[in-house]
Chains A and B, each alone.
Chain A
Amino acid sequence: MKIQRCKGMRDMSPQAMAVFRRMVGTCRDTFVKWGYREVRTPTIEYMHLFTSAGTLTPGMLGKVYSFLDWDGWSGERVVLRPDGTIPVARLYAENMQGLARLFYTMNMFTFESGEGNRERWQCGAELIGAGSAVADAELMALSMEIVKKLGLRGVELRLSHAGLIKALLSRLKLTDEEQHRMFDSILDGDTTLLAKASRKSPELADLLLPLLSRKGQTADFLRKQRALLCRSIPEIRAPLDDFLNTVAVLDNLGMKYQINIASGAGFEYYTGMIFQLFTGKEKIGGGGRYDALIDAMGGGDVPASGLAIYLDRLMDRIKKGNVMSPAAQRILVKASSGISVGVAFKVADALRQGGCIAEIDLDGREADWTLEVKSTGTMTLFNRAKKQKTAVGSVDAVLKLVGGKSGG
């Protein structure tokens, strides 16, 4: 019987892993250069880390892989990490203080029906301890630098603001539960609930619906509406100013963006700026400000924001050429008949020291470069493409011959 892989899970072949490593490498290099330090949190966490109010929507929690641990007789469940930011916030609250720039490469688990990916890989960064517009802009600039380095063209930066959405909703006189539900539906990109609720107060509907449902508002539109909006909805002043401040920094940096207040983001822990990266219709990354999360983890009143790049969605979009570095030359090392394998191992070791990939021959097949070893001083190098046979007397000579052809 052939055993198949688990539904919703994917394997990564050597080719896919090469792309994956290269993507992670690009993210990692960029994060490190911006001053971020790498962390990793465990795959299994207590469920209540994620259920604490205001962290994940009930819809998302309903898809979490949860189970009773082998010592879980208390009935409290543990989960496979469904999100990267919350555990990092917990890690910060447990061990750190002040300004921290942290990044991670981790896999997240949530149930998807059918053939959807149930395990997803992310590279993410968290900027904890800074609450300014500059900090928000740093994360957006950092994200755009990564996608540019990965060779992606035409990536769109879309902006929204959780505080702004919440202030607008507060005017609809909803119960807590309704407000939660509406916020969740807006984060999921659905404005039908909102349209229904705002029918009750037409004067608000005139203000809210254009703001929340129309795509591609300009900063100028918001600036012009500011006085009018603040008069009708005083709670909007703080989030709107926060939003406009960040936009001003982006303008200053010459970054292009689109404003789309009601754009899907799906994380209930967001409190301020939300940004998303799109290529076409596919969301490939995003992030936002979550100023209440560190406090919810018991780490005190510390502002924070973060970003994540969705590696699985990028894998199919990135052309191999953009990510493959010229690989080291690969040489197959064969021991001549009757010769001790020890000699072949010694030669292979010297080739590796010289920067090549040296494979010991096991099945007698041919390779682009094959080196037959009689002794460390007597070897023959075959080049399959040129059908050339060269006698060589030292490993240095092999490296010279092979190196001259590199990049081919």
Chain B
Amino acid sequence: MAVKIALPKGRLLRKTAALLQKANWRLDEYHSSMGFYRPKSARFPDLLIRVFHEKDIPIQIAMGNYDLGICGLDWVEELLVKYPSSDVVKVKDLIYGKGSLYAAASMPQDLRQNGTPLRIASEYPNLAEAFALKQRMSRFSVFPVWGAAEAYPPENADMVLLSAGSAADIAGYGIKPFDRVLDFSTFLIANRPRWESKKLDKIAASIFDVLSEAAKSTAEKKDALSSPLPPRIKAKGVKTDTVRLVLPDGHQQQQTVELLNKAGIKIEDYPSSTGNRRPRIGIDGVAVKVIRPQDMPLQVANGNFDLAVTGRDWLADHLAQFPSSPVKEILDLKLRRVRLVAVVSRELPIDDPGDLLRFSAGRGEPFRLASEYVNIADKYARENHLGHYRVIPTWGATEAFLPDDADLLIENTETGRTIARHNLKIIETLFESTACLIGSAGSVTDAKKSRIIESIVSRLQKAVGTN
């Protein structure tokens, strides 16, 4: 059987490509930014290569879908801390892509408080939970976020666990690191049984041979950290009659700003060239923050924000996880129209959802659904009566999972072209998603606040109406 390796896209791509070039792999398309999900190596023509989001790689190795993988040690530890018996071997430190995970807070505070739960925002929810347990926090909640954890303190989280090159980088966000939880770099990892069967030696050796010994600096990292348990200072809260609005980062910013302009709402420094996540808005009594749209419904449910501009897809995913959540759609902003679709490989004898049950019942292995929308995927599997199934969480580039590493995807698509290009077919449209304004039902009791919210909604409504 051909050896399979999972390579990272994103921040590690350039250095990984350079390493493999030095190892004379002669990859045809790993350097490019488009369509590189299935590169080929001229040196190892039988090697099956796929490109994934870094976060997905340890899971793929643990599941045995891939024999080898290259990714940051942080994601390996995020898996192992929760599932210590996972079949993942850390084979070799490749030394590049170094960083550390820091615990940081806006105001240093006593983490062993009693009473209200201490809120931790992190892209690493498992490591965050392990950290909280180790610190013996009596009560805590973990907000798993897709990104922008640094934007949460102090109003929306008491501390964050986030990765950075050094403590100084974090200080740049205006928060204080107080503990370095993990030092990481890029690792070659392997599936345990495959590694022990020793069939991966040749490929691993090609990488080991070109690792420069000199690069192995063992210098102790020197970081200025605040003391772990400094005296507690009460965080300055936002005034209770302020309306807290949250806007999306990333590629939705331009459309959002156009809509705000059309509604006659001025906003400064959004999108921000300096990474400012607290732009100023031209309405009195409104505070704005910028976070990932994926994370908004949960934050609105928690009462961290009153209004959010996000996608109906993320609201639906939140409601699939928490059916009694108070979050609801207030206004359809009619931007960024996509369809949420169920997708399978063209090779499969499945043409509509009715075929799924027959197909999944007829085989011994569990039916695998891969999606960024884990809760929608889980609900989809339940509602289609797929008996024995697994949901594989992904962080993008989901098309690369079919047909080998998953049987079905729940994906969003604008035109369906990417899906067609990957030799996939849509078997069902779950719903249409656009950007929408969401809020929490019955959460606002303050009269002044309700008036401001009503005025924002009606201004946006008029702007949408003239679209």
Contacts and interface: CB of A to CB of B under 8 A. Distances in A.
**A and B bound?**
yes
Contact of B141 (A52, A71, A75): A75
Interface of A: 1, 3, 48, 51-53, 58, 61-62, 68, 70-77, 113-114, 180
A75 B143 CA distance: 6
A76 B141 CA distance: 4
Given A1-B364, A51-B133, A58-B133, A73 B139 contact: no
Closest 9 A/B residue pairs (Cβ): A75-B141, A48-B139, A73-B301, A52-B138, A76-B141, A73-B322, A58-B133, A53-B136, A113-B85
28 contacts: A1-B361, A1-B364, A1-B387, A3-B388, A51-B132, A51-B133, A51-B137, A51-B138, A51-B140, A52-B138, A52-B139, A58-B134, A58-B136, A61-B133, A62-B130, A62-B133, A70-B324, A71-B322, A71-B325, A73-B302, A73-B321, A73-B322, A73-B325, A74-B117, A75-B298, A75-B302, A76-B141, A77-B141
Contacts of B142: 75, 77
B298 A73 contact: yes
A70 B139 contact: no
Contacts of B112: 53
The main secondary structure of chain A at its interface with chain B is loop
Contacts of A58: 133-134, 136
Nearest to A62: B133
Given A73-B301, A76-B139, A68 B134 contact: no
Interface in B122-137: 130, 132-134, 136-137
Interface residues of B, number: 31
A48 B117 contact: yes
A97 B137 CA distance: 28
Contacts of A71: 322, 324-325
Contacts of B132: 51
A52, A72, A75 — most chain B CB neighbours (10 Å): A75
Nearest to B327: A73
A57 to B, nearest CB: 10
Contacts of B137: 51
Contact of B138 (A48, A72, A73): A48
A71 B325 CA distance: 7
Most chain B Cβ neighbours within 10 Å, of A1, A3, A73: A73
Contacts of A72: 322
B26 interface: no
A221 B298 CA distance: 61
A376 to B, nearest CB: 50
Interface in B313-357: 318, 321-325
Nearest to A71: B324
Contacts of A51: 132-133, 136-140
Residue with the highest number of chain A CB atoms closer than 10 Å, among B112, B138, B318, B323: B138
A48 B133 CA distance: 10
B119 interface: yes
A53 B286 CA distance: 39
Nearest to B299: A73
A1 B141 CA distance: 40
Nearest to A66: B129
Nearest to A68: B321
B308 to A, nearest CB: 14
A61 B137 CA distance: 12
Given A48-B139, A62-B130, 15 more contacts: A51-B132, A51-B136, A53-B112, A58-B133, A58-B136, A61-B133, A71-B322, A71-B324, A73-B321, A73-B322, A75-B117, A75-B142, A76-B117, A77-B141, A113-B84
A70 B364 contact: no
Contacts of A1: 361, 364, 387-388
Contacts of B141: 74-77
A103 B361 CA distance: 46
A83 to B, nearest CB: 15
Interface in B432-461: none
Contacts of B325: 71, 73
B417 to A, nearest CB: 36
A62 B134 CA distance: 9
Interface in B72-118: 84-85, 112, 117
A53 B114 CA distance: 10
Nearest to A268: B136
B138 A70 contact: no
A264 B321 CA distance: 41
A128 B30 CA distance: 67
A48 B137 CA distance: 9
